[in-house]
Amino acid sequence: MDDAVDTAAPPANLFRRLRIKSRQVMLLDALDEHRNLRRAAAAIHTTQPAATALLQQLEEGLGVVLFERHARGMEPTVYGEVMIRYARGVLHDFAYAGDEMAALAAGAAGLVRIGSVMGATPVLLTQGLARFKAGNPRVRISLQVDTSDLLMPALLRGDLDVVLGRLPDQFYDEDLEIEQLEGEPMSVVARPDHPLFDLAEVTLADLVAQTWILHPLGSPMRRRVKQALQHASLAAPPDIVETSSILATTSLLEASDMISVVPRDVAQHYANYGLVAIVPVELPISMANLGIITRKKKDLSPAVKGFLHALRDSMLERQIAR
């Protein structure tokens, strides 16, 4: 390796002068995936000598080593990990730029990719999205409903434009713009004729022996349920079915004596249709605050800005109506 390339930190203003080729961006992504220069070169349809030259030019331009060469392959240094992260971000953005342009060519007026947790879907998301679509019928909407621990990485990768969710515990990223909303109370739900409704009074202790339907381990919802039971000096239920699917949850509730814990807006939505009933017991801890979450360093398209404007307007109307 050239003596000019070392592991010292590059000058603070170097990146303002650096010009990176698109092939180098592709090579960084391929090297991260394959950890082998020959296979990475094949992945971007070039020769190994050409790939070696591209990497050497990049390292010499930065003045740091991006990959350590070993007999069994290549491992990124701390600088290499930074460059890989940004290279992947660029490739993600260009991939979705193609999707957005294809939507425009097909007659759409833009693309908005939304991620939402289940609790925000029945009221917050539905009202905001309905309001937005009423004035923007040609904007294409892509909606992913999932748990926050899956939505946040998708937002950071650039797969989503905005997330209506809550940060998982101990999660922090300075690249995120977070507009905090109110917290959500949780409700225990079961089928309307569940034996629990025959009790004169239902306590948390009565629920522990039931079969629970809960979100998977690692999700904010699952942690909050555990905290609520600990707060009441109760052990975690031993009999659990794990799923984040509301369809699977309501189907299992309808067909069995299982119970589940969902945000109150979700519980009320399905109770209105007679699919579930809310068990008259209070959980001592509410869900973590919801938030409207975007990336700070990502310029939002007019369509995304329009959706956020409609979302905030619908939230304001709801607050006034209370």
Instruction: Write out the DSSP string of 276-292.
Output: -EE-S---SSPPPPPEE
Here the contacts of 74-79 (C-beta below 8 Å, separation 24 or greater) are: 74/31, 74/35, 74/36, 74/37, 75/35, 76/31, 76/32, 77/7, 79/7, 79/10
Mean pLDDT on 130-157: 90
In the structure, what pLDDT confidence band is assigned to residue 11 with cuts at 50, 70 and 90?
A: low
What's residue 132's pLDDT? 95
Residue type, 206: D
**Which amino acid, residue 106?**
A
pLDDT of amino acid 304: 92
Q: In the sheet that 176-180 helps form, which strands lie side by side, from edge to edge?
A: 140-145, 111-116, 162-165, 291-295, 176-180
Give the sign of the dihedral formed by CA 194, CA 195, CA 201, CA 203.
Answer: negative
Q: What is the dihedral of CA 140, 98, 178, 164, to 10 degrees?
A: 40
Task: Quote the mean pLDDT of the chain.
Answer: 85
Q: Does position 110 have pLDDT exceeding 70, yes or no?
A: yes
- Asked if 253 and 189 count as a contact pair (C-beta separation under 8 A), the reply is yes
Closest CA to 243 of 211, 268, 273, 271: 211
Give the separation between CA 36 and CA 45, rounded to whole angstroms: 14
Residue by residue, DSSP assigns 44-63 as: TT--HHHHHHHHHHHHHHHT
Which of the pair, 15 or 266, is modelled with greater confidence? 266
pLDDT of 3 > 80? The answer is: no
User: Domains in the chain, start-ordered, CATH in brackets?
Assistant: 14-91 (1.10.10.10), 108-183+289-321 (3.40.190.10), 186-278 (3.40.190.10)
State the pLDDT at residue 322: 62
Residue 306 has pLDDT above 80, yes or no: yes
Angle at 151 between CA 143 and CA 112, to 5 degrees: 35
The residue assigned the tokens 């004596």 is 257
Per-residue pLDDT, averaged over 2-9, amounts to 50
Note the pLDDT of residue 164: 93
Type of residue at 199: L
Residue 2: its pLDDT value, please?
A: 45
Average pLDDT over residues 122-126: 90
Q: Mean pLDDT over residues 117-133, rounded?
A: 91
Question: Is the confidence at residue 19, as pLDDT, over 80?
Answer: no
Start-end of H helices in 171-219: 204-208
Rounded Cα gap, residues 270 and 266, in angstroms: 6
pLDDT of residue 76: 92
Confidence class for position 4, pLDDT limits 50, 70, 90 = very low
The two three-digit tokens of residue 264, written as one number: 């109150």
Least confident residue range of 74-88, 235-249, 288-302: 288-302
pLDDT in tens, 193-243: 999 999 999 998 899 889 999 998 878 788 888 888 888 888 888 899 999
